């Protein structure tokens, strides 16, 4: 039987190949993101571009007509949906398309049921957006996107987890973190793989780092965004959403400093996020839930 280090090397090699084979962002999404970079966005033109991709068009209309946006009458065109969602939040929808229906899949290796990863991701995204507002982060929608995609690395690690899971869970009970046990038993971790996936999709560097370092925010080039995602993730897990036997990661000692708050305010912030977390969890039951890939 190969030594664990040899097995890990083979797993990491397989994961790198999977990352390299990931489909890029849909052409319509890439073009739309470029258009959104212009302060004078032509909504009609943007709607035409996005209407060319049926999957993206359907996602936009599902979001625009959800209870979250509270429209009195339903949107029937993509352009109407864009107006209701807003161009800043539209970016979140488009980047979310990168992970697509995969977020709705069951992750047997992580012991997560159908849709549980999406539920956790959506709630973390919502909490991260709210936290971004509370700590005066300049782009709360960027925090939403980073929160939505923070665990995408689990999509690729999942099939390698199942034969190792019980031993990993036992080690977490003994005091190790999920990142430590993933690195020990697989050779890499879900945050690192998630960052590589985001890079493959040509996401902005700030999002790549927030995903890749949400368990080690001080290592990110933009540590404040990574800290927002890290804190939102912990609070959501503490509420039981997305919680597995691999537990809740420890609070990074520099989180308060990165968020530019005093440590005494951490509990207050967590308490303030609770209503957002509960509302987002209920929202999961609406038509925002993706169709599994």
Q: Is residue 42 part of a domain?
A: no
Is 44 a domain residue?
no
Residue 24: inside a domain, yes or no? no
Instruction: Tell me what pLDDT residue 98 has.
Output: 67
Residue 27 lies in a domain: no
> Does residue 204 fall inside a structural domain?
yes
Count Cβ atoms below 10 Å from residue 28 Cβ, excluding itself.
Answer: 20
What is the percent of the chain with per-residue pLDDT over 70, rounded to a whole number? 93
Could you give the residue ranges of the DSSP H alpha helices within 23-108?
27-36, 43-51, 54-64, 78-85, 87-99
State mean pLDDT over 249-258: 93
Question: What mean pLDDT is predicted for residues 121-143?
Answer: 94
Q: Sorting pLDDT into bands at 50, 70 and 90, what band is 291?
A: very low
pLDDT surpasses 60 at 200 = yes
Q: For residue 116, tell me if it sits in a domain.
A: yes
- Are the CB atoms for 290 and 101 separated by under 8 Å? yes
Evaluate whether residue 275 is within a structural domain.
yes
For residue 194, the enclosing domain spans 101-283
CATH classification of the domain holding 154: 1.10.3210.10
Cα separation, 251 vs 235, whole angstroms: 10
CA angle 265, 271, 272 (to 5 degrees): 85
Number of domains in the chain: 1
Q: Quickly state the pLDDT bin for 293 (edges 50, 70, 90).
A: very low
Dihedral-angle region of residue 232 (phi above 0 means left; psi in -120 to 50 means alpha; beta otherwise): alpha
The verdict on residue 90 lying in a domain is no
The pTM (predicted TM-score) of the whole model is 0.89
Tokens matching residue 124: 């973390």
């Amino acid at each position: 039987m190969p030594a664990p280090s040899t097995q890990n090397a083979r797993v990491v090699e397989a994961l790198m190949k999977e990352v390299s084979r990931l489909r890029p962002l849909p052409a319509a999404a890439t073009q739309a993101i470029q258009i959104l970079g212009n302060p004078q966005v032509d909504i009609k033109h943007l709607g035409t571009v996005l209407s060319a991709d049926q999957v993206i068009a359907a996602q936009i209309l599902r979001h625009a007509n959800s209870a979250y946006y509270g429209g009195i009458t339903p949107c029937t065109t993509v352009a109407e949906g864009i107006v209701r969602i807003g161009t800043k939040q539209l970016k979140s929808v488009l980047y979310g398309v990168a992970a697509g229906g995969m977020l709705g899949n069951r992750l047997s290796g992580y012991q997560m049921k159908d849709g549980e990863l999406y539920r956790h991701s959506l709630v973390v995204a919502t909490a991260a957006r709210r936290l971004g507002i509370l700590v005066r982060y300049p782009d709360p929608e960027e925090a939403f996107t980073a929160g939505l995609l923070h665990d995408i690395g689990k999509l690729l690690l999942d099939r390698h987890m199942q034969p190792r899971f019980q031993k990993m869970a036992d080690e977490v009970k003994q005091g190790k973190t999920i990142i430590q046990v993933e690195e020990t038993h697989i050779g890499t971790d879900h945050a690192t793989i998630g960052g590589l996936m985001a890079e493959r999709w040509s996401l902005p560097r700030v999002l790549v780092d927030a995903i890749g370092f949400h368990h080690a925010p001080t290592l990110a080039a933009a540590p404040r965004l990574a800290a927002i995602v890290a804190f939102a993730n912990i609070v959501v897990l503490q509420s039981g959403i997305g919680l597995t036997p691999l537990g809740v990661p420890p609070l990074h000692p520099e989180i308060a400093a990165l968020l530019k708050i005093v440590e005494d305010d951490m509990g207050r912030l967590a308490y303030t996020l609770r209503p957002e977390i509960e509302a987002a969890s209920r929202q999961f039951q609406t038509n925002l839930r993706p169709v599994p890939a």
